[in-house]
Structures are given as C-alpha cells and as structure tokens.
Structure 1
Amino acid sequence: MMGLLVLKERLKGFYARFDIYVNPLIKFIFSCMAFFLMNGNIGFSSKLTEPFVPLVLALLCSFLPYGAISFLASGFMLIHLSGISIEITLVMAIFIVVVGLLYYGFQPGDSYLLVLTPIFFLLKIPYAIPLIVGLSGSVISVIPVSCGVFIYYTLLYVKQNAGVLTNDMSVDEVQKFMQIMNSLLGNKQMLLMVGAFALALVVVVIVKNLSVDYSWMIAIIAGTITQLGVIFIGDIALDVSVSVIGLLLGMLASILISVIYTFFVFAVDYSRTEYVQFEDDDYYYYVKAVPKLTVSTPDVKVQKINATKLQRPQR
C-alpha cells in the first residue's frame, strides 16, 4: 500500500512538472485510438484508411481542446459513412448538430465522452463509463454518455448491414431514411444500455455525495449492481440476448478500472476524520472533513565518493 501511495505522489509530481507535454500526449493517444478504431470498424473511405492519415489528425488533435477533437472525430466518421449510405450519414449529421446545439453550447466540458464511450465499447469494457463518469462528473453527464451509446450502436448497425445499405438501390430515399430511423430507434439492446448506463450513473453520483465513509467504493458497488439489475430485467422484459460471460467479465474489468481510478483520484484517510461545527447569524454549519491520503516521497540522494589511493612511504 505504501508503495502505491509513493507511486501516486511521484506521478502527481511528474505531471505537475511536465503537464505541458503530458496533456498533448494524452490527447494524441486518445485521438489515435478513436481514428484507428473507426478505420478498423467502418473503414469505408479508402483515403482515410491510409496509416498516416489518423496519425496526422491525431497529431493535430494533440494541440486542440477536447471539444474540437470531438468535432473532428465526428467529421472523420461522417466521411466514412458517406462512402456507404447518404441516408445514414444524414441521420448522424442531424444527430450531431442537435446534440451540439442543445448541450455542448452550454457545457462543452464533457464532449470527450462522445468519443470515449464508443471506444470503451470497442475495448469490451463499456460498463466502466457510468462508474468513472459518475465518480467525477454530475447527473447532466448522462446526456453525453447516452449519446455516445447511440453513436456506438449506430456504427455497429452500419457495420452489420453494410451490404444492405450499399446495394439497396430500389428503395426510395425517403423510405430508406425512415427504415434506418426505425431500425436505430427500435434497437432494444441500445435502449437497454442507455437505460442501464443512465440509471447507474445517477446512482453513482447520488451515493458518492453521501456523507458516509468509503462513499466512492459504495458508489462503485451500487452502480455495478444497478447495471446488472437493469440489464437482467431488460433481458427478460425486452427479450434481448446478452452474453452472460461477456457481461460478467466486462463488469469485473470495469470494477477494477474504477477502483484504480478511485485510488489515484479520491484516496482519503478516514482514520483522521474531523467534525467541525460553527455558526453565523443565519445558519448552523456541521462539516465533516476527511483528509486526503498522501505520503512524502522518499528523497534519496546518492553521493559518489572517489577514494584516493594513498601510497605508502618506502622504507
């Protein structure tokens, strides 16, 4: 435990010294994952699948805010979709514009969740999203997370129906557009995941704000149980097929990731909890103060001593 705390303090010190380099590197890795995963799953535009294109775009994104990265990733996705169906491209373009106008014009700080949520789905650990976002965000974060789920299932629909979307030339464009909308909005598995993620995120936000010891750990457990409960109920009520083994493995991995995140961000020492009471002219205040768990990193200095050989006097 002490070793992990020392590692945490060293990482914090390293980030404080080199954040000007670390932040662009994180954005570069984040953008690379997004572009390469899109190329691997919906790579319908041959020009964008060239290896240097995602690298150049990711390098550009490393100097941009996350809102601009999300906008660039959306354009990248729309170009790919335009290579298979104009109708599905129009659906996604309208969705992105509506989300941008209704939400990101007021709170753009969570825009990275539009990209991060599909990435976690592709990495088979999507259940970590409501846990981590709930621990560090607010209830309004339900909106970008739900939108990210919609984007993932739209891309999955395109990948699974690429042949039909490309070759269905006999159907009228308006009718084809309505068929796509009905297929997307009637996707029971997508609706189930949106409901599970939204409810779990709200539960995590509520529990982590409670004035109880280990509230963050309790929030992780409560959020996990909520996701499992909603998914199992939906499996029965909506007749949605869910892989139990994949679900449990994904949940275990998500819990592990959330616990690690909690340790490095929210670790506190409950043994030194203090309760403070004071008042002013209008209110009485009862404050619970829990100090953060920190240790001093060992300052190890190695001093090199050059021993001088002394010659013995000859007799």
Structure 2
Amino acid sequence: MDIFLGFVIFSIICSLAFVRVDRKHAVILIVTAVMFYLKLEYLLPVLLGMIVGFGAILPAAAGVVVYFLSVYMTDVSTLLTTSSSSSFGMGLQRIVNLMLIDKKLLVFLITFSLIIFITTLLCHLFYERAWLFAIFIGHIAMILLLLFGRLIFELDYKIWRLFLEMILGIGCCYIYRFFRGIGDVSRIEKASFEDDEYFYYVKAVPKIKVTQKDRNVTDIKSGENEDDILFDDITEETDLFDGNREEAEKE
C-alpha cells in the first residue's frame, strides 16, 4: 500500500512539473522510460538534444527515475511478499534507500543530462555543419561517461551493447537530419545586427532544391529541311544572277 501511495505521489509531481507546462515533456518522460524497457536507452540523449534541446533535460531525467523506480517497486514488492514481518512505510523506505545508494541511477542521470546539454550547445553553434559535430561528439562523450562510470562504480551494463547502440544512434540522427531537410550550406548567408539591448546573429540556410538541367534538343529533320531550303535559295539566286549576266552580254 505504501509503495503504491509513493508511486501516486511521484506521478502527481511529474504531472504538475511537466504535463501542465508542456505536453511534449510528458511524451519525453514516457518515451525515455519505454526505451529503457526496450534496452535502447543509449539512442535517446543525442536525439533529444538535437530535436528538443535544453528543455529535454528534466523530463528525460524524470523518465530515468520512473524506470528505476518501477524496477525498485518490483524487487521490494517481491521481498515484502516473502517477508513475515512488514510494517507500513517499510517498502517506501527501502525504495528511497535503493535510489540513494544506486550508482547506476546516478551515472545515467548525469550522462543523460550532460549529453543533452552538450548536443544542444553544439547544434546551436554559429557554424554550417555544427549538427555533424554534435552527433559524433555527443555519442563519443556518452561512451566515455558510461565507461568511466562503469570503471569507477563497477557497474554491470554491457560494453558491446553500448557500442552497437552508438552506431544505431548515429544512424538515427542522420535519418532525422535527412527528413528534417538539410540546407544548402554552400549558399549560406550570415547577418548580424543590434538594438539598444541585444546583439542578433542570424544564419540563413536555404533549402536544397533539385533543378532540372536544360536540355538542348536538335531536330535533325527540321535541320535538313532548313539546309534544303537554304540550298534552294542559293541555287535560285545563282540562276537569277546568271540570267541577268547573259541578258547584259546580249545587249
């Protein structure tokens, strides 16, 4: 009963903090938790940084907490079911203790927050191909943080899955950029202006447009006809000139 009550309280807090502000935050929270269940959580941080930005940090962290909270609830419920002595509040206390001592939760919270922050920062650089640097630097930084956490705290996540999902994540980021429409960076234009309070830096990237090449079609038959007509005209002029010359000689 106390575990269910704690989960309800946490759900209300998340609803007030994210759903009331922006429904997009609720989607991020749910998607993050679902991706953890599907064992595809490493695909998220860089994508969230590219798609959503800084606003994805808190809902993504809440989604991580929701997933770990559900795992703790399952373990504690099983433990309390087999235990002979259990009092009200014991399950909730165990869950809180697990959250405080679980280093894996801490590593994922720090990693997700930092990677979303770094990716968003790189994507907003005043540079033509900033998104490309954001994809690779974001994934490399994520691997380094997770490997560092695994080494320091002796965590149990698998390295091969980390590298595999990194490759898949890079592919997903490229697909997102493709469907979003990459601008023609060869025709990029930059402008800067200011007012009394701010400096403004504008980067205009035109969309790529496929232009059809001009085709020069030569009609061979019409060309032949024109040559024949031209030849006939020359022949007629020659005959006329010869006739005039003969008449002049007779005179």
With the length of structure 2 as denominator, give the TM-score of the two structures. 0.75
Where 1:212 maps in the other structure, the secondary structure is: coil
1:115 aligns with 2:23: no
Deviations 1:239-283 (A, max 9, x none): 222211111112211221121112111412111112345677887
The correspondence for 2:109, drawn from 194, 198, 213, is: 194
CA distance in 2: counterparts of 1:118 and 1:281, whole angstroms: 46
Q: Return 5+ residue gaps in structure 2 as ranges.
A: 213-251
Q: Where does residue 168 of structure 2 map in the other structure?
A: 253
Higher alpha-carbon Rg:
2
The AA in structure 2 aligned to 1:243 is: K
CA distance in 2: counterparts of 1:239 and 1:284, whole angstroms: 48
CA distance in 2: counterparts of 1:107 and 1:242, whole angstroms: 33
Percent sequence identity over aligned pairs:
29
1:171 aligns with 2:86: yes
- Across the aligned residues of Structure 1 and Structure 2, the Cα RMSD in angstroms comes to 2.5
Q: Where does residue 52 of structure 1 map in the other structure?
A: none
Q: Where does residue 61 of structure 2 map in the other structure?
A: 146
Q: Where does residue 233 of structure 2 map in the other structure?
A: none
Measure how far apart 1:169 and its partner are. 4.4
Measure how far apart 1:284 and its partner are. 7.2
1:156 aligns with 2:71: yes
Question: Within 5 Å, which residues of 2 pair with 1:270-309?
Answer: 270-276=185-191, 286-295=201-210
Deviates more, 1:197-206 or 1:88-97: 88-97
Where 1:114 maps in the other structure, the secondary structure is: helix
- For residues 210 and 266 of structure 1, do their structure 2 counterparts lie closer, same or farther at Cα, with a shift above 3 Å needed? farther
- For residues 165 and 281 of structure 1, do their structure 2 counterparts lie closer, same or farther at Cα, with a shift above 3 Å needed? closer
1:230 aligns with 2:145: yes
Q: Where does residue 46 of structure 2 map in the other structure?
A: 131
Question: Within 5 Å, which residues of 2 pair with 1:200-211?
Answer: 200-211=115-126
Contact 2:48 2:56 in 1 (8 A): yes
Deviations 1:89-131 (A, max 9, x none): 2222111111222333223332111211122222322122111
With the length of structure 1 as denominator, give the TM-score of the two structures. 0.61
Where 1:287 maps in the other structure, the secondary structure is: strand
Contact 2:76 2:94 in 1 (8 A): no
Q: Where does residue 88 of structure 1 map in the other structure?
A: 3
CA distance in 1: counterparts of 2:46 and 2:192, whole angstroms: 33
CA distance in 2: counterparts of 1:176 and 1:283, whole angstroms: 54
CA distance in 2: counterparts of 1:121 and 1:141, whole angstroms: 16
Measure how far apart 1:163 and its partner are. 2.8
Contact 1:234 1:240 in 2 (8 A): yes
Where 1:173 maps in the other structure, the secondary structure is: coil
CA distance in 1: counterparts of 2:145 and 2:64, whole angstroms: 16
Q: Where does residue 216 of structure 2 map in the other structure?
A: none
Contact 1:125 1:251 in 2 (8 A): no
Contact 1:268 1:293 in 2 (8 A): yes
Structure whose residues are more often helix by fraction = 2
Q: Where does residue 217 of structure 1 map in the other structure?
A: 132
